[in-house]
Structure 1
Amino acid sequence: MGVSIDIWRARIGTFSLPSSGTGVRHDCDVSVGAVCLALRLVMFATLLLSGDVETNPGPNQSSQQSSDKRQTRQTTLFGSKPSTSSENPELGDVLRELRNMKCDLSKKMDKMATDLNRKIDSLVDDMQEIKQELTEAREETARLADENKVLTEQVYDLNNELDSMRGQMKRDNLIFKGIEQDEDESWDQSEAKVRSLISEKLGIDGQCIEFDRVHRLTSARSRPQPIIAKFNRYQQRKQVYEAAKVLKDTEFKVTEDFTKRVRDIRRKLGHHLAAARAEGKRAFLSYDKLKIDGTTYIYDNACDDIRPLSGRSTRNR
């Protein structure tokens, strides 16, 4: 590669020196302009050989075009092509290693994608099973809720029947309040005090009343305890209870014997009874119901208030 010395001599000309004489004399057959041109060519060739100079590709040319032009100039000037990656064994090894890495990476990614798809499919199957179990659980919950509703109604009916039976057992009873209590009072003494009250306060012959038993409700002595009397005849019990209205605003009081459920309901209805009477309405309690101006009301635990009784009464809950 390169330009021979003969070619350079042909391009820049020759210099001749004198063979004799005292003075120094240079004869040059070329002009100064030719020498400058030759120097420019030498510099240009040197720069091209170093490969660091290329022509300006201009604003509309790509880097690839510039590289192609540079390779073309080098080929034209020096008669050879620049080396490529195929001629460099180290570069070839790097390319092969990169291709192998790409292949391995592709295989790993394919394996990861396969594993991920398998896991997703497994999760989908699990989700379907959970969904099915949830549906079955909801159906079972609905079934149990229906059964619980039926059982609740049955328990309510049984409680009502039991309460009704207890009420029937208590229907012949009356409770007398306000009667003085003696220390260690016996049942006979309690019965005698009840007969005396009936005769003196109600105007009924107490000795004619037939009792099954008469006694104090409790043995406490903090204050006079009520006396409960069980009548053998309901008509006598009814006569005494109706006559006991004369005891209003006195220290004595005669009430019916109710079950706990009925007592709780009557206590709640009592507030509405007082409010109705305060408004000038005719109101009174009848067992577990309240009657106001001819309208019958029951207490509804669901709304914690009274409501009119229409047709078959709704169960209190």
Structure 2
Amino acid sequence: MATFNVPVYDTPVTQNRQFQPYSMTQPVQNPNFTQQSPNSPAVGFYTSTPQNINSVMQPMVNPYSDTNCKLDDLTQKVNMIFDKMSTLDELSNKISTFDRAVQNLFKTVEKVSKRVDDVEQGMNFINEKFEDAKKDVSDVKGVCAGIREDADSANDAIFRLQKDLDELYTRHIDLQTRSMRENLIFTGIPMHDKFEESETTEKVLEKFMTEQLKLCRIAEYDRAHRFGKEYVERYPDGSVKFMTKPIVCRFRNFKEREFVRKAARELRDTHFGISEQFPKEVNDKRKELWPHFQEARRQRKKAFFKRDRLFIDGVEYCPSKKDEEKRDDDVPG
């Protein structure tokens, strides 16, 4: 019996293609004929020529070709499934990587959440301290307001006290000036000796009134004495000419004082001098005004002092700030 080699294609089941023998002795089911017996020909089956054999074998080969085509389709589908499985593997790897990233992200979020909790606790603590500080500030503001009110009251009291002190100071200076109203100071009169007594000073002053002032009588006075710093007058060779101290004399009344003061014109061009006695504050003010007094006299203006006030041509002179600065510049350092 003749056999045919049927090709077997490479499929997932068979990896290598090969020919498998097919035996013609196997019975073939064909609906087109019915075999009666091995010796009698069947209806519709032709055995006389090779053409008849080919025509008979054609239906037998076609089922295997269809099977191979189906196997090829199945192979392609399996290959597609494998490709998709590879894609799924890659996707699985990516999902794993993503899962690890998500896990890391969860850990990071947990750390951040913990830090946020710590920050919230810190902020709550700060808020509590801030509220406490705010309350303290409010209390301090209240205390400061009270202190400010007390300070304002104290400033008002100090202002009133300062005003009262200024008035008292002015009254004190006025009282001192009035108490010295009958006093005159004599300068340049030699001392009888270094430890001159008051009685001796009074006799020296009486002699000075008659000899130097050329008074017709000795003015009535209460007492006289020397005071202040000792001054030594010397000759050109350095020897002592005489020693002197100022003499203050209190006269019986203002008329007696003016009687002696008006006679001071007799002392012009001498080393003697007569002046009114004033408190130190008045003398300091008069010293400041003295250059302006001299300047007015050089300009032949009528100038005179009234206590610590200077009048020039009947108008009180008040030195300007510019004049004060110029005077300070003229003073040697």
- Bin the TM-score by the shorter chain: 0.5 to 0.7
Mapped pair 1:49 → 2:59 = no
Residues 173-212 of structure 1 mapped to structure 2, 5 A cutoff:
173-183=183-193, 184-206=195-217, 208-212=218-222
Mapped pair 1:123 → 2:133 = yes
Deviations 1:76-97 (A, max 9, x none): xxxxxx99x9xx9x99999998
Residues 261-300 of structure 1 mapped to structure 2, 5 A cutoff:
261-297=281-317
Structure 2 residue identity aligned to 1:119: K
Residues 134-145 of structure 1 mapped to structure 2, 5 A cutoff:
134-145=144-155
SS of aligned partner of 2:255? helix
Displacement after TM superposition at 1:196 (Å): 2.1
- On the 8 A contact 1:288/1:298 being kept in 2, the answer is no
How far apart, in 2, do the equivalents of 1:199 and 1:235 lie?
Answer: 18
Deviations 1:222-260 (A, max 9, x none): 441111111113211111111213323321111111111
- On the 8 A contact 1:172/1:237 being kept in 2, the answer is yes
Q: What is the TM-score normalised by the length of structure 2?
A: 0.61
2:163 to 133, 153, 160: 153
How far apart, in 2, do the equivalents of 1:167 and 1:93 lie?
Answer: 103
Deviations 1:274-293 (A, max 9, x none): 23334443212111110011
Residues 6-17 of structure 1 mapped to structure 2, 5 A cutoff:
8-9=12-13, 14-16=17-19
How far apart, in 1, do the equivalents of 2:286 and 2:199 lie?
Answer: 32
- Which structure has the larger Rg over C-alpha atoms? 2
Question: For residue 166 of structure 1, what is the aligned residue in structure 2?
Answer: 176
Structure 2 residue identity aligned to 1:228: V
Deviations 1:130-188 (A, max 9, x none): 22222222222222111111111222222222222222221111111111112132323
Question: For residue 226 of structure 1, what is the aligned residue in structure 2?
Answer: 246
Aligned residue pairs total 258
Question: For residue 248 of structure 1, what is the aligned residue in structure 2?
Answer: 268
Superposed CA RMSD in Å reads 4.5
Structure 1 residue identity aligned to 2:209: I
Percent identical across equivalent pairs? 25
Structure 1: segments with no counterpart, 5+ residues: 1-5, 20-28, 55-69, 72-81, 307-317
How far apart, in 2, do the equivalents of 1:251 and 1:104 lie?
Answer: 103
Question: For residue 330 of structure 2, what is the aligned residue in structure 1?
Answer: none
SS of aligned partner of 2:269? coil
Q: What is the TM-score normalised by the length of structure 1?
A: 0.64
**Which structure has more RCO (C-alpha within 8 Å, separation ≥ 6)?**
2
How far apart, in 1, do the equivalents of 2:177 and 2:322 lie?
Answer: 24
Displacement after TM superposition at 1:216 (Å): 1.2
- On the 8 A contact 2:219/2:259 being kept in 1, the answer is no
How far apart, in 1, do the equivalents of 2:109 and 2:225 lie?
Answer: 110
Structure 2 residue identity aligned to 1:194: L
Structure 2 residue identity aligned to 1:8: P
CA separation of 1:192 and 1:205: change in aligned 2, threshold 3 A: farther
